[in-house]
Chains A and B, each alone.
Chain A
Amino acid sequence: MLLAPIIWVLTAVIMYCFAAKIWWFPPPINQHGLAYDEQFMRTLVITGIIFFFAQYALGWVIFRYRDDGRRASSSHGSNKWETIWTTATAILFVGLVLTGTKIWVAVHLAEPDPNAVPIELMAKQFAFSFRYPGPDGKFGATDLAQVNDAAGNPFGLVDSDPAGKDDVVSASLKVPVGKPIKLIMHSRDVIHNFFVRELRLKQDIVPGMEIPLYFQADTPGTYEIPCSELCGLGHFQMRSTMEVMAEADFEKWKQDQAANK
């Protein structure tokens, strides 16, 4: 009996915390993020309504149908109701997933922009490294045997390849604002994950696979990158940042880096 008000109060508190957005997403920094938030809100409203009515109904039957000397009804069910709620939930659930499909398609299946700025990511226990091709637009060849983290060569750039002479390697990600980016992701040991909350994007980085991720960031700023796939004891401190900067600043940063090599 006491259970009914407890369920109602819990339901109200839970819904309040969602509605008040006390702990929430950071603001999105691109179109994809806006579409993402819209799909999230659509899902939240629909599940919120179901949550409210289901928990409220549960509380209500607990309260209303306590043993007060009546005889229980002898119903064994109703095919009509079974049909109604089966159809309704099927349409609602499948409909909801279909409305989100275009977001998924835009991230993973859309025709990639051939002019996207290529950046390579190399993940290892427990650091991210990023590589930019120099003015020649080409990544230099790499060799696992040449890898030397201490000497600033996490990718294993090969000295003999001239294309690699102007490559820029950095421990943090810098991207030009408003430009399509192609992030080419590699791992050299275990599975890691690239996640930027403000981009609303996440992708596992799998050893043995080359996984490209296309995105664009429209708001300058610095954003944290937490590794989001368990990679070992240092997982919790595997951190980098993504700095979104004006295109001129980005080019200048690359030149400075190349000059300092």
Chain B
Amino acid sequence: MSESLAHAHHAPEGFIRKWVFSLDHKVIGIQYYFLALFSVLIGMSLSVLMRFHMVHPDAKVSLFATLWPTAAQGGIMTPELYLSLMTMHGTIMVFFVLTTAPQGGFGNYFLPIQIGAEDMAFPVLNMLSFWTTLVALVVMVSAFFVQGGAPLSGWTGYPPLSGIGALAGPGEGLGQTLWIVSIAIFCGASLMGAINFIATLIDLRCQGMSLMRLPLTCWTWFVTAILGLLGFAVLLAAGVLLILDRSAGTSFFIPGGLLVSDQILSHKGGSPLLWQHLFWFFGHPEVYIAILPGMGVTSQILATFARKAVFGYRAMVYAILSIGFLGFLVWGHHMFMSGMSPYSAMAFSVLTMAIGVPSAIKTFNWIGTLWGGKIHYTTAMMFALGFVSLFITGGLSGIFLGQPALDLYFHDTYFVVGHFHMIMGVAAIFGMFAGTFYWFPKMFGRMMNETLGKIHFYITFVGVYAIFTPMHYLGIAGNPRRYSDFTNFDFLGKLLPVHNFMTQAAYGTAAIQILFFINLFWSMKYGKKAPMNPWNATTLEWTIPSPPPFDNFAGHHPVVNHGPYEYSVPGAPRDFIMQTDPVEVHADS
């Protein structure tokens, strides 16, 4: 013991080293978390503005004129401003919220602890990846403040719209360039993070932590990191090519024979579909980057509060791995209507249905985990249960969209918007809420308020169903997405009451999030002191103080003797066996 104590690292002195340019994975995790929290506030505010504009396209709001003197002159939001808000909403949410909080935030904080390591494999790289992400965010948000404003080509940035400069519309000048630069910087940050996660999980597991004893959260962070490594590398390359098309006169994505705003362009020989292939080769795995950690957290929390082992642990691991693998073979289902070969559409659709199978396995296993359990309804558990419900709903609409035949109608309608918001938007966010309520005591040493938490949960749960379910009906009625108003078509006018309802639901759901922020910040300062293991959970983070010391295990090297989810084992003295408990506890089971 004295030998291992000699390895104990001392916390750095001074505010800057401790809280700003910190090498501690826990501080970096919290930095990522707050970066995502800041981003989600922007992203959510943009969505409320969009919902407002869709039902009141001609409303005069003096605040708009203050915020956007050109794009909302006189307080009336222009269609191009709407598209800018939409582009930035999607981009900020996907990259700076869904990608950063579950992986950079929780993963950074808890992966090393859950595998019994004292930090990530490369602490300096870890610090760099956070600060690079912050630079990317600053560049992204700055697009709002430049000539022409933020880009209007959507988070998918399809060329030629995104590739030919300001001719294509306001925001397509400097705004679009900043957008691509930001994405490229973000790719760099994600690559650094991905390498670090992979190396950490492979090399730094403590004694006894075999792969099949890893908590499912670690499995999901690991596979997410692999997806990030392969996906962001391709997006980075695509982004560089797009910048070259815009600024160096190359034609990777821009074909010849274009006439834009009465000007004949000199581009020749590029392919708009090439961008779509590269983008979605990243873009589809990105969906799993967003949702896999949520699946891991959900499995962890369901087991903890049902006091039961995860049903089919091995099946869950294989499902995570198959989702990771198949995730790279289905990108073409975003392109059924793109003009790509109809034969490849058929191949992509079969592979897409195949990826539904491991997703279904996970759902069955979650219900199997709850079956026969002894469920404690904490707020963390409520959000995990909400995740399962939303995942079922969002997953099933994918069965429609995965069929090219049905996509002949649904492509680019609100059915798609409803589908991906359900599954990669709010389901993933429910995973983050669940993780927040579950791990907050460990991160900040205090408990969150359960009453506020439950009120927030119930209203949010009903609220997101009220916002996103009607989108499916709109899709069936043929409502195209990315329309800034619905007054130009006879059939869209009839759907306005539905849009109105969704807008009201969005106001309410957005407003109630204030309760979460109050709970979070209030509990940080005034919450009840958290014990070491408030949930009687089994994994390693619950064997150390709340909050953990600088090097996690205070110089000790934990030894793991048990699987991650040994709950309610017959003959055991308590209804849970911690991973580090001595072997004998398990003797008569």
Q: Which residues of A contact B (CB under 8 A)?
A: 1-3, 6-7, 10, 14, 17-18, 22-26, 36, 39-40, 43-44, 46-47, 50-51, 54-55, 57-58, 61-62, 65-68, 70-78, 81-82, 85-86, 89-90, 93-94, 96-98, 100-101, 103-105, 107-109, 124-125, 144-145, 147, 188-191, 193, 195, 197, 200-204, 206-209, 211, 224, 226-237, 239
B125 in contact (CB, < 8 A): no
Q: By the criterion CB–CB under 8 Å, are A75 and B375 in contact?
A: no
Q: How far is the CB of A198 from chain B (nearest CB, A)?
A: 9
Give B358's nearest chain A residue, CB to CB: A86
Which of chain A's residues have a CB closer than 8 A to the CB of B2?
none
- Contact, CB under 8 Å: B272 / A206: yes
Q: How large is the interface on B (under 10, 10 to 19, 20 to 34, 35 or more residues)?
A: 35 or more
B345 contacts which chain A residues (CB < 8 A)?
104, 108
**Bound-state Cα–Cα, A114 to B202, Å:** 61
CB neighbours of B370 from chain A (8 A)? 58, 61-62, 65
Q: Which of B142-185 contact A (CB under 8 A)?
A: 152-154, 158, 160-161, 164, 168-170
B403 within 8 A of A: yes
Contacts of A66 in B (CB 8 A): 375, 377
- The chain B residue with its CB closest to the CB of A88 is B360
28 example contacts (A-B, Cβ-Cβ < 8 A) are as follows A6-B458, A6-B461, A6-B462, A23-B473, A39-B406, A51-B392, A61-B370, A72-B567, A77-B310, A77-B311, A77-B312, A82-B365, A85-B364, A89-B361, A93-B357, A97-B403, A125-B261, A189-B168, A189-B260, A190-B164, A197-B478, A227-B480, A228-B480, A235-B79, A235-B484, A236-B483, A236-B486, A236-B488
CB-contact partner of B408 in A55, A72, A201, A226, under 8 A = A201
Partner of A39, one of B353, B375, B405: B405
CB <8 Å contact, A236 and B484: yes
- Does B367 contact A197, Cβ atoms closer than 8 Å? no
In the complex the two chains form, is B308's CB within 8 Å of A190's CB? no
Interface residues of B (CB under 8 A from A): 78-80, 83, 152-154, 158, 160-161, 164, 168-170, 255-261, 264, 270-273, 306-315, 337-339, 342-343, 345-346, 349-350, 352-354, 356-357, 360-361, 363-365, 367-368, 370-377, 382, 385-386, 388-389, 392-393, 396-397, 399-400, 402-409, 411-413, 458, 461-462, 465, 469-470, 473-474, 476-478, 480, 482-486, 488-492, 495, 498, 567-570, 575, 589
| With A58-B388, A191-B158: A204-B408 Cβ-Cβ less than 8 Å | no
Starting from the known contacts A55-B393, A77-B315, A202-B337, 6 additional A-B residue pairs (CB-CB under 8 Å) come to: A25-B409, A61-B375, A66-B375, A104-B404, A204-B339, A228-B413
Given contacts A58-B389, A97-B353, contact A75 B259 (CB under 8 A): no
When distances are taken between beta carbons in the complex, the residues of chain B under 8 Å from A44 are 400
Taking CB atoms, residues of chain A closer than 8 Å to B164 are 190
With a cutoff of 8 Å between Cβ atoms, the chain A residues found around residue B489 in the complex are 224, 226, 239
**Chain B residues whose CB sits within 8 angstroms of the CB of A191 once the complex forms:** 158, 160-161, 272
Give the residue name and chain of the B residue nearest to A156 (CB). B259
With a cutoff of 8 Å between Cβ atoms, the chain B residues found around residue A108 in the complex are 342, 345
Q: How near does chain A come to B353, taking the closest CB pair, in angstroms?
A: 4
With contacts A65-B370, A233-B80 taken as known, whether A24 is within 8 angstroms of B477 at the C-beta atoms is yes
Question: Are B393 and A93 touching (Cβ within 8 A)?
Answer: no
Q: How far is the CB of A222 from chain B (nearest CB, A)?
A: 10
B312, B399, B458, B469: the one contacting A2 at CB < 8 Å is B458
Residues in B neighbouring A68, C-beta threshold 8 A: 374
Most buried by B among A22, A68, A89, A230: A230
- Contact: B364 with A81, CB < 8 Å? yes
Check A3 against B308 for contact (C-beta < 8 Å). Answer: no
- Contact indicator A82/B315 (Cβ below 8 Å): yes
Across the interface, which residues of B come within 8 angstroms of A200, CB to CB? Answer: 408-409
Q: CA A236 – CA B160 in complex, angstroms?
A: 18
What residues of chain A lie closer than 8 Å to B480, measured between beta carbons?
195, 226-228
| Nearest CB of chain A from residue B50's CB, rounded to whole Å | 12
Residues of B within 8 Å of A100, CB to CB, are 403-406
- For residue A86, which residues in chain B have a CB less than 8 angstroms away from its CB? 315, 357, 361
Residues on B with beta carbons closer than 8 Å to the beta carbon of A189: 160, 168, 258-260
List the B side residues contacting A82 at CB < 8 Å: 312, 315, 361, 365
How close is A94's CB to chain B, nearest CB, in angstroms? 5
Q: Closest approach, in angstroms, between the C-beta of B147 and any C-beta of chain A? A: 16
> Across the interface, which residues of B come within 8 angstroms of A224, CB to CB?
489-491
Whether the pair B257, A144 counts as a contact (CB closer than 8 A) is yes
Given A89-B360, A104-B405, A236:B79 Cβ within 8 A = yes
Measured CB to CB, the nearest residue on chain B to A103 is B405
Q: For residue A233, which residues in chain B have a CB less than 8 angstroms away from its CB?
A: 78-80, 83, 152, 169-170
Contacts of B338 in A (CB 8 A): 204, 206
A104→B259 CA distance, assembly (Å): 33
What is the chain A residue whose CB lies nearest that of B572? Answer: A74
Once bound together, how far apart are the Cα atoms of A73 and B375, in whole Å? 12
Distance in Å: Cβ of B410 to nearest Cβ of chain A: 8
Q: Which residues from chain A contact B372 at a C-beta distance below 8 Å?
A: 65, 72-73, 75
A18 to B346, CA, bound (A): 28
Assuming the contacts A23-B474, A81-B364, asked whether A71 and B405 have C-beta atoms less than 8 A apart, the reply is no
B272 to chain A, nearest CB (A): 5
Q: Which residues from A are CB-within-8-Å of B458?
A: 2-3, 6
A228 touches B350 (CB 8 A): no
Cα(A57)–Cα(B567), bound, Å? 22
A242 to nearest B CB, angstroms? 13
A40-B406 in contact given A71-B575, A76-B309, A204-B339 (Cβ < 8 Å):
yes
Question: Which residues does chain B contribute within 8 Å of A43, judged by CB atoms?
Answer: 399-400, 403, 406
Query: Nearest Cβ distance between residue B370 and chain A, in whole angstroms?
Result: 4
Closest Cβ of chain B: how far from A195's Cβ, in Å? 7
Q: Check if B356 sits within 8 Å of A51, measured CB to CB.
A: no
Q: How far is the CA of A54 from the CA of B407 in the complex (A)?
A: 25
Cβ–Cβ < 8 Å partners of A229 in chain B: 158, 412
- A67–B374 CB distance below 8 A: yes
| Chain A residue at minimal CB-CB distance from B377 | A1
Asked whether A85 and B406 contact (CB < 8 A) given A108-B342, A144-B264, A206-B338, the answer is no
- CA A24 to CA B314, docked complex, whole Å: 43
Bound: A90/B372 CA distance, A: 27
Q: Which 6 A-B pairs have the closest CB atoms?
A: A208-B255, A73-B372, A77-B312, A108-B342, A100-B405, A233-B80
A197 to B, closest residue via Cβ: B478
